Structure 1
Amino acid sequence: MLLPLLLLLWMQGEGQWGLGRAERRLPSRCLPDSVKYRLEVPESVSVQEGQCVLVPCKNPDSRVNSMTVLSYWFEEGADTSHDSPVATNDLQRQVQDRTQGRFRVFLRTQPKNCSLHIRDAQKGDSGSYFFRVDSGSVQWSYCADLVSVKVTALTHTPDILIPGTLMPGRPSNLTCSVPWACKQGTPPIFSWRSAALTSLGPRTTHSSVLTLSPRPQDHGTNLTCQVMFPAVGVSVEQTVLLNVSGEYSAGYPSC
């Protein structure tokens, strides 16, 4: 009598507290036997707006061993026969307009790699997705392994580097950079605001240089670097106070 009671308590406990991989809910259009074959994939990933995220995915399914594999990622609830995927390496299949060029799966010659790469993440990308494979003899939707993608507001800010002390009449190169920005994303647009005498210097994909010619009256004034991510229309900025000190240099007569 004790053994059945313990078994019953264990089953109830699994139902209430067991939220592991095997206990994920089955979404719509997902048949009960979908749990027979599973992926190695996280339940959720998070990314800030305008940035990139990789959904790591490995397919241990022994049935998938062809060197040419067609891979698809669909939104939860999609009809894989009629609805457009969000990403695929199938050149004969049209993806959704909103994900065109932003969602990417890997090469056909990597049958075990089902990872999904998202760049220029948008708020509308938030949702759940599942993977499907077509390797000739095997056509299978791994809908039991939904991945939740959450796109949050962009909270990162630019870094402004001021080398050394700003001296009146001595030009200095200030650098604004966004080292956290995605290298695969659409390049950001930099802009500067300052009452001081400035000129733009060289820039890279993720940094901009401003040549500042400080004057005594620039001490304590604001200098702002704004970075806009055009793919999503989101801007962030950083403001610093200029600290101009020291002796005058040639070209700036004293008062």
Structure 2
Amino acid sequence: VLPVLVCSPAAQLSQGQVYRIQVAPHVTVQQGLCVLLPCHFTADFESPGPLYKYWFLEGADKDHGVPVASTNPDRPPQESRGRIRLAGEAEDDCSLIISDVRADDRRRYYFRFEKGESKYSYLEFQLLVNVTAQLSQGQVYRIQVAPHVTVQQGLCVLLPCNFTANFKSPGPVYKYWFLRDTNWHRSVPVVSTNPDRPPKEPRGRIRLAGEAEDDCSLIISDVRADDRRRYYFRFEKGESKYSYLEFQLLVNVTELRDQPVLRVPEVLKPGQPVNVTCQAPGTCSGTPPQITWTGGFDSTAMDVSEPQGNGSVSYSSVLRFTPTLAHNGTELGCTVTYPAVGVSTRRALRLHV
């Protein structure tokens, strides 16, 4: 079972900063295979100094323990060959890859961030890696996917998924996702790679993410309330056909709760121009959000989009203005609207000049 992104509780920082992490609560993988665990986090990235990221075993001391994965050259990981390593290059990416999975990888792990004086261990949310034995020859049709996922309206979600099947049968591979209780013979699929059976929404709001033959990963963008359903996967290749009805995925949809992240310099001096950043929640691959500022500033705002891998994008807006003493105590607000769904979220703070 390969669960997807869920949010940890938030620990509040100064001026609206939040330490939060989005990573699978647990994952099941077979011995000898590999697994990618998508992960993103928020932190105080404004602190001076190099940024270091670590994964530790549960119970390991953050100061003296040896990490299982590390970007700090002065604190190398247990295995120097990179069998367990951080996958992403983006500042807020904590994604983890475990290759050549072994039985003793079945442990809990936690993530740690360090940048100058800003340091935080995300102990409130620890990842469980469960390891199973390899498949026997008789176990042909198996699927690894999250049993359920919760996602907020307007955002997007990637559901990692892999399956085993009879790939030796001649003919092209076709993959589908259907709604539970729909008949695959006659129903229109939610997702399809078969050009003769197009999906309900041809624009690709819901689509398959991976290119590999055994990849059934699913992306849902611009999440709506009516996406709250159960889904099942189907495979076809020549005479080899199978619907994985024994394992159906539940997508749970909640209201948009996450707020934007506001990054404001700690010191605002009159007459000195500054940049303030508002980062939209999530890293979505769907319709870009609209970011607006409130506060009546004589300012210039610039929208920024940064690719995060797997087709996802981080959206933010950078506001440049020159503070004056008149701005002291003024409220600066940032509103993020997801136009495809019609929902919005806001964060505001008061300036100290």
Specify which structure has the higher proportion of helix.
Answer: 1
Partner of 1:159: 261
Q: CA deviation at 1:156?
A: 1.3
Instruction: Name which of 285, 303, 309 aligns with 1:184.
Output: 285
Q: 1:89 aligns with which of 193, 196, 201?
A: 193
Name which of 191, 196, 200 aligns with 2:300: 200
What is the TM-score when the length of structure 1 is the normalising length?
0.73
Match of 2:207 among 98, 101, 104: 104
Match for residue 147 of structure 1 among 210, 231, 249: 249
Q: Give the whole-Å Cα distance in 2 for the aligned partners of 1:210 and 1:106.
A: 34
Match of 1:55 in 2: 159
Paired residue for 1:17? none
Q: Secondary structure at the match of 2:149?
A: strand
1:23-38 mapped onto 2 (5 Å cutoff):
37-38=141-142
Q: Determine whether 1:71 maps to 2:180.
A: no
User: Once superposed, what is the RMSD of the aligned Cα atoms?
Assistant: 2.2
Tell me the SS of whatever aligns to 1:110. Answer: coil
How far does the alpha carbon of each residue in 1:116-159 deviate from its partner, in whole angstroms, 9 at most, with x for none?
A: 22122111101100111110111221112111111122211111
State the Cα distance separating 1:164 from its structure 2 match.
Answer: 3.8
1:78 CA displacement:
0.7
Q: Which amino acid aligns with 1:76?
A: R
What are the Cα deviations for residues 15-44 of structure 1, in whole angstroms up to 9, with x where unaligned?
A: xxxxxxxxxxxxxxxxxxxx9944222211
Cα distance 1:194–1:166, how it changes in 2: closer, same or farther (>3 A)? Answer: same
Per the alignment, residue 210 of structure 1 pairs with: 319
1:106 & 1:64 partners in 2: Cα distance?
19
In the alignment, what sits opposite 1:248?
Answer: none
For 1:144 and 1:237, locate their aligned partners in 2 and report how far apart those are by CA, in whole Å: 41
Alignment of 1:96-135 (within 5 A): 96-97=200-201, 100-106=203-209, 110-135=212-237
Q: Distance in 1 between matches of 2:266 and 2:147?
A: 47
Q: Which amino acid aligns with 2:303?
A: R
1 CA distance for matches of 2:261 and 2:200?
A: 36
Q: Looking at both structures, which has the greater relative contact order when contacts are Cα pairs under 8 Å and sequence separation is at least 6?
A: 1
Aligned to 1:233: 342
**Do the aligned partners of 2:141 and 2:163 also contact (CA within 8 Å) in 1?**
no
- Cα contact 2:191–2:199 (8 A) shared by 1: yes
Q: Partner of 1:175 in structure 2? A: 277
How many Å apart are 1:104 and its aligned residue? Answer: 1.0
Q: Equivalent pairs: percent with the same residue?
A: 35
Gaps of 5+ in 1: 1-34, 245-255
TM-score by length of 2: 0.54
Residue identity opposite 1:194 in structure 2: G
Structure with the higher fraction of residues in strand conformation = 2
Match of 2:184 in 1: 80
Note closer, same or farther for the CA distance 1:44–1:164 as it changes in structure 2 (3 Å cut): closer
What's the offset of the Cα at 1:106?
4.6
Post-superposition CA distance 1:76-100 (Å, at most 9, x none): 0111121110001111212113x74
